[in-house]
Amino acid sequence: MIISIFLFSIPEALTLFYLAYSLLGKKAPLKRLAVMSVIFGVTIYLNRLSNDNYILSVIFSCLLSILLLKLVGSLEIYEAITSGVMSLSVYLAIEFINVITLQTIMGIDPTTMETDLTRRFLWFLPQIIATLALSNLIRYFINHYGNRKCM
């Protein structure tokens, strides 16, 4: 349980909140990012254990991310809502693409990988890398081109 939280849930939360701050063009405060990630990771892990409904889990994740961005991240409510919803949407899209791509290439059913942590981590790693790369790309363009005024 604890290994799964540290290997999957907390890194997933960290990339989610990093992406949220990148979408806003704001510097992510590391201490707050760590606190939000631990709270989110543990809560979402426990929610997944008790709830088999994927849609309810996504809705709960969305509401929790907005709440944490507002309360712990000290964002305005509009910023928390937009960045929370957008970052979760982008992350889920990347996760879907990752699962479909790896499933097609490797021919492995992701639901059968519950017991093998190494295989699960290697399956999970590309979506974390892709999300962080996208986040840094967004951050680069917002910081370098976002300050220019449109004519």
Extents of the domains making up the chain:
2-145
Where b means 16+ CB within 10 Å and e means fewer, 50-73 reads eeeeeeeeeebbbebbbbbbbebb
From first to last of its 151 residues, the chain has per-residue pLDDT tens of: 788 888 899 999 999 999 999 999 999 999 999 999 999 999 999 998 999 899 999 999 999 999 999 999 999 999 999 999 999 999 999 999 998 998 898 887 777 777 788 888 888 999 999 999 999 999 998 877 766 554 4
Whether 49 and 60 have beta carbons less than 8 Å apart is answered as no
The per-residue pLDDT for 112 is: 76
The whole-model pTM stands at 0.90
What confidence score (pLDDT) does residue 151 get?
A: 40
